[in-house]
């Protein structure tokens, strides 16, 4: 019997149970921050549009404010969960499934910093530029510590099978994949070269860590797929997470390379025969193009898998993965279109943005419906689904 049907038959008797909201909040997991990181990614996408119209920035600001409200709300709800259930914080960071989604909390913060630069700095002036610089370095240090200790816990205490590998395993280091684009957008307003140069170098280093680890994880993911172990239908939207590493690295290489052209001083690294900034831009652009199609291939693979298993799919919070990685893919293509001045590429990006906005409303409606019907935020649902098979929570 397929796993989905087995869980359905096992849980059918629970549909009409009277479960209090207090108990439901005990199942508020880290994966809810997939919603905020995707909402933040949509706000960043709206800020990068090649073609604008009157009111577009206002729409972007509204989405950003919504993201802030959701983030604060989710932070309060998960704090209530940990307060009501002694030891649940430690369990959530040790769980072989939920612990990976702790990374979505940090990615959400990264998207907020990106949006502060995109929407706040133009209106607030120099004090926010300095604040953004401080936030960047504080964020980088925090995610480095978080990812190091989290993977130590996973490697030391968990025994995970390659046959169960999902792109979500990358999530603890996903913040580094967005640090490059965040650095790139901060550079537009940072004093040069005093603050801009360290951020440029840091952005390259952090992006390198994220990409190298994600590339290693790609091999495990492909090993699973070539073994014929395709993710369950409900988990297939999570396949889009694999789009993000290539997409955001493409974005970072192009933006940081372009910024290097204007930030790096003459004679940088003692090289006086050629302009180092021009070389950085050329290498960054072509390396970014090299990676963009990798991201698109994972997008195509995830789309085919999602369509193929559509009939047996049901909503989980993994469905928010439709937004953030593909927003990164679209922004990367916008950067490519800007570099080459291609009207056609920019038009395609506008169409992709419209589709992603529609996808956000669609996933949001499914999320609300799932909460209302007790399909998530419910005992033995979402991350708790393994409990049905006898696993201790």
- The answer to whether position 16 is within a domain reads no
CA distances from 298 to 40, 172, 243 (A): 22, 20, 5
- pLDDT for 151 equals 87
pLDDT over threshold 70, residue 220: yes
Q: pLDDT-based confidence at 342, cuts 50/70/90?
A: very high
Supply the range of the domain harboring residue 337.
Answer: 21-378
0.85 exceeded by pTM = yes
Is position 345 within any domain? yes
Assigned domain for 391 exists: no
Instruction: Check whether 210 has a pLDDT greater than 50.
Output: yes
Say if residue 13's pLDDT is above 80.
Answer: no
Distance CA 105, CA 122 (A): 26
Q: Binning pLDDT at 50, 70 and 90, where does residue 227 land? A: confident
CA angle 186–187–193, rounded 5-degree value: 135
Please report the pLDDT score of residue 17 as a whole number: 61
CATH, residue 227: 1.50.10.150
Q: Does residue 14 have a pLDDT over 60?
A: no
**In-domain check, residue 10:** no
Residue 384 lies in a domain: no
Task: Kindly report the backbone phi and psi dihedral angles of residue 254, in degrees, each rounded to the nearest multiple of 5, phi listed first.
Answer: -70, -45
Q: How many CB atoms lie within 10 A of CB 6?
A: 12
User: For 362-377, what is each residue's pLDDT tens digit?
Assistant: 999 999 999 998 888 8
Number of domains forming the structure of the chain? 1
The label of the residue with tokens 């480095």 reads 144
Q: How confident is the model at residue 168, as a pLDDT?
A: 86
The reply to whether 160 falls in a domain is yes
- pLDDT (average), residues 347-376: 94
């Amino acid at each position: 019997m397929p796993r989905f049907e087995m869980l359905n038959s096992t849980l059918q008797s629970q549909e009409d149970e009277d479960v209090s909201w207090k108990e439901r909040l005990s199942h508020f997991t880290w994966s809810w921050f997939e919603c905020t990181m995707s909402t933040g990614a949509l706000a960043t996408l709206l800020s990068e549009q090649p073609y604008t119209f009157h009111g577009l920035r206002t729409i972007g600001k509204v989405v950003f404010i919504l993201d802030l409200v959701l983030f604060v709300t989710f932070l309060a709800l998960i704090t209530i969960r940990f307060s009501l259930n002694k030891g649940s914080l430690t369990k959530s960071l040790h769980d072989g499934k939920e612990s990976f989604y702790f990374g979505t909390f940090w990615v959400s913060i990264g998207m907020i910093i990106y949006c502060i630069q995109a929407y706040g700095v133009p209106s607030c002036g120099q004090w926010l530029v300095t604040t953004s610089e401080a936030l960047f370095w504080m964020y980088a240090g925090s995610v480095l510590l978080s990812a190091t200790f989290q993977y130590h816990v996973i490697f030391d205490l968990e025994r995970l099978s390659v046959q169960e590998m999902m792109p979500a395993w990358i999530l603890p280091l996903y913040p580094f994949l967005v640090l490059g684009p965040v650095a790139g957008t901060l550079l537009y307003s940072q004093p040069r070269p005093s603050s801009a140069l360290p951020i440029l170098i840091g952005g390259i280093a952090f992006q390198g860590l994220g990409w190298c680890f994600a590339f290693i994880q790609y091999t495990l993911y492909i090993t699973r797929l070539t073994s014929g172990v395709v993710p369950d239908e409900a988990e297939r939207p999570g396949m889009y997470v694999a789009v993000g590493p290539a997409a955001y690295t493409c974005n970072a290489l192009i933006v940081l390379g372009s910024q290097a052209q204007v930030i790096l001083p003459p004679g940088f690294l003692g090289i006086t025969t050629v302009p180092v900034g021009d070389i950085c831009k050329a290498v960054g652009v072509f390396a970014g193009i090299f990676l963009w199609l990798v991201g698109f291939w994972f997008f195509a693979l995830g789309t085919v898998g999602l369509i193929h298993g559509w009939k047996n799919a049901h909503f989980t919070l993994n469905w928010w993965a439709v937004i953030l990685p593909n927003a990164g893919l679209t922004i990367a293509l916008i950067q490519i279109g800007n570099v080459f001045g291609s009207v056609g590429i920019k038009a395609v990006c506008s169409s992709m943005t419209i589709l992603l906005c529609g996808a956000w409303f669609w996933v949001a409606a499914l999320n609300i419906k799932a909460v209302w019907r007790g399909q998530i935020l419910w005992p033995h649902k979402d991350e708790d689904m393994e409990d049905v098979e006898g696993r201790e929570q």
